[in-house]
Structure formats: C-alpha cells, structure tokens
Amino acid sequence: MTYSGNDSHDCQLVARHSGKCVDVNTVSTAAGALVHQWTCKAVTRAAR
C-alpha cells in the first residue's frame, strides 16, 4: 500500500503483476463488490 493523499486513510493498493491500482466500484464494502484495476494516480504529500 502506498500513501496517496492528505489524510492518513488515503492510500493506493497496487497489484504486483500489473503495477496498477485496485479500485472498489462505488467504494462498496459489500461482499462480492466489483474490483477494477486502473493506472495509479500520482502520489503527493501535502505540507502540514
């Protein structure tokens, strides 16, 4: 997992085989939710 935002909960989960980030459709927490792989966004850390 990679930190990717201004909040400690903002992170990216990157698949080893593809180097792409995992995205859960509609931010669902339900069992059986659809998961997609997307090109990861740039990781930035805002000054605090």
Convert the pLDDT of each residue in 1-20 to its tens digit.
666 666 666 678 888 888 89
Amino acid letter, 39: T
The verdict on residue 47 lying in a domain is: no
Domain count, the chain: 1
Predicted confidence at residue 32, as pLDDT, reads 92
The verdict on residue 34 lying in a domain is: yes
Beta-sheet strands, E only, within the chain: 2-3, 11-12, 21-24, 35-38
Mean pLDDT of 25-29: 86
The verdict on residue 30 lying in a domain is: yes
Specify the pairing of strand 35-38 against strand 21-24: antiparallel
Domain carrying residue 25 = 2-38
The verdict on residue 12 lying in a domain is: yes
- 3-state class percentages of the chain: helix first, strand second, coil last, to nearest 5: 5, 25, 65
CB 13 within 8 A of CB 22: yes
- Asked whether the predicted pLDDT for residue 25 surpasses 80, the reply is yes
Report pTM: 0.53
